[in-house]
Amino acid sequence: MGFFTDTSVCIGCKACEVACKEWNAVPEDGLELTGMSYDNTQGLSADTWRHVAFIEQRKPVGNAEAGERGDLRWLMASDVCKHCTHAACLDVCPTGALFRTEFGTVVVQEDVCNGCGYCVPACPYGVIDQRKEDGRVWKCTLCYDRIGAGQEPACAKACPTDSIQYGPLDELRERAAARVETLHEIGVDDARLYGDDPDDGVGGDGAFFLLLDEPEVYGLPPDPVVTTRDLPAMWRHAGVAAAALLGGLAAVFAAHGRTGGRR
């Protein structure tokens, strides 16, 4: 199960942010204007699990000519934890506070988290964050309690335009591909999917997006890679080195023993 966020129909109402905070009892986080259009929550953090970005561009919309309908457009996008298929945060957590649910999502157990912070730099999207009060990490749970009871996540429920859609990932990918095709037919050539490829650097995201520009414009990495991808090779090399060292020590002790016997 997962999210498909169609940014082409996002109206920037922030209903998803409010619903997320209310349902999950996420603390208020300042609400200070950032200077980035009407954005007042800055980005994803321990106290912002859904973040609606407002990106102003001097660029005509779709196939309109410059100046025909004004050159200013807003790209609005509701960002969230990607719930990676290959989740580095799971690999580095020493306490098991992070776990994979039966729905394929990644959840933090706050009562198990010890605040070590290893998962923070491990996330290729910079999603996971620690609260200053106790150092524990917090992020989107994809409303684990709601979906376990057969309900959709609070953000998807509150979205008035169905920009945020919840359901089986296979169905969402088919729907997303059809949506991109429709946009291309009406002249929105910049429409593309992000995070829907199971063969990408994180094995595909459990929350993927339809974007209207390059990922970097939205603050997303263009080619995310699970940060722990080299761990198996590193352990293998370490094992070979340790075996070689033990072999060398054994040879030294054996040689020393033979010399001592001749004396």
pLDDT tens track for 26-58: 988 766 777 776 777 888 889 899 999 888 887
To the question of whether residue 20 is assigned a binding role by annotation, the answer is yes
> Residue 159 annotated as binding?
yes
Whether residue 204 has pLDDT greater than 60 = yes
- pLDDT of 140 reads 93
Mark whether 178 and 234 lie in a shared domain.
no
Domain that holds residue 206: 2-218
Q: Are residues 167 and 237 in the same domain?
A: no
CB 158 within 8 A of CB 19: yes
Segment among 65-69, 119-123, 137-141, 221-225 with least mean pLDDT:
65-69
Residue 157 has pLDDT above 60, yes or no: yes
Domain membership flag for residue 225:
no
As a whole-number percent, the residues of the chain with pLDDT over 70 amount to 81
The annotation status of 10 as a binding-site residue, yes or no, is yes
Nearest alpha-carbon partner for 192 in 150, 222, 147: 222
Task: Kindly state the average pLDDT of the residues 219-242.
Answer: 65
Residue 13 assigned ligand-binding role: yes
Judge whether 9 is annotated as a binding position: no
| Cβ(123)–Cβ(89) below 8 Å | yes
Q: Do 54 and 136 have their domain in common?
A: yes
Task: Tell me, yes or no, whether 32 lies in a domain.
Answer: yes
Question: Does the residue 224 lie in any domain?
Answer: no
Q: Is residue 117 part of a domain?
A: yes
Residues 80 and 209 in one domain: yes
Is 106 marked as a binding-site residue? Answer: no
Is residue 242 in a domain? yes
pLDDT of 238 > 60? The answer is no
Write down the residue that tokens 């037919």 correspond to: 185
- Beta-sheet strands, E only, within 109-154: 129-130, 137-138
- In three-state secondary structure terms, 76 is strand
Nearest CA among 24, 79, 13, 77 for reference residue 47: 24
Which of 123, 80, 100, 97 is CA-nearest to residue 218? 80
Indicate the number of domains in the chain: 2
Instruction: Taking residues 205-228, report their average pLDDT.
Output: 89
Please check whether residues 213 and 241 belong to one and the same domain: no
Which uninterrupted H or E stretch holds 252? helix 231-262
Mean pLDDT, range 131-142, rounded to an integer: 90
Check: CB of residue 61 under 8 Å from CB of residue 203: no
Q: Does 116 show up as a binding residue in the annotation?
A: yes
